[in-house]
């Protein structure tokens, strides 16, 4: 059984997620979405969808959000509501201030997602960090 994966944002970071997903056993890359299109030519035979709702409609089990930061929070909430396991590139939101009024809504969405057994995680790439370059 494969995990049906969708990726939102196939630009500077998303293209690497596409490559890694294709190389990972047990992962079936089934949907890509980016309103800006496929500027790095990574879609291959997959159509490039317009946004997160189309990813959800594609019947994905999991998603990676690698879109511009301004879209992270709304996309993560939509995926949580749909019960899709999600990895969000850092940061989760553009700032703390606009997110505070939504905090209780987000907790509610994340709690209802938990009853559907989905999870949301925030990932951080450590390329170029002193911890990595000291090896």
Q: How far is CA 89 from the centre of its chain?
A: 7
Tokens linked to 10: 């196939």
- Quick check: 63 and 123 in contact, CB under 8 A? no
- How is residue 40 annotated by DSSP? T
* The dihedral sign for the CA sequence 99, 103, 109, 115: positive
Nearest to 120 by CA among 82, 91, 86: 86
* Tens-level pLDDT at each residue, the chain (135 residues): 899 999 999 999 999 999 999 999 999 999 999 999 999 999 999 999 999 999 999 999 999 999 998 888 899 989 988 999 999 987 777 777 654 444 445 555 555 544 456 677 767 665 555 554 444
φ, ψ of residue 126 to 5 degrees: the values are -110, 25
Angle of the 72-81 helix axis to the 103-115 helix axis, nearest 10: 40
């Amino acid at each position: 059984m494969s995990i049906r994966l969708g990726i939102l944002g196939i630009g500077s970071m998303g293209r690497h997620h596409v490559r890694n997903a294709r190389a990972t056993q047990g992962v079936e890359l089934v949907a890509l979405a980016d309103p800006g299109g496929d500027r790095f030519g990574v879609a291959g035979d997959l159509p490039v969808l317009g946004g997160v709702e189309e990813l959800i409609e594609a019947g994905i089990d999991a998603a990676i959000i690698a879109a511009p930061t301004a879209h992270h929070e709304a996309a993560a909430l939509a995926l949580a509501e749909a019960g899709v396991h999600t990895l969000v590139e850092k940061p989760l939101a553009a700032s703390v201030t606009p997110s505070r009024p939504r905090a209780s809504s987000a907790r509610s969405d994340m709690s209802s997602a938990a009853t559907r057994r989905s999870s949301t995680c925030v990932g951080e790439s450590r390329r170029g960090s002193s911890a990595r370059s000291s090896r």
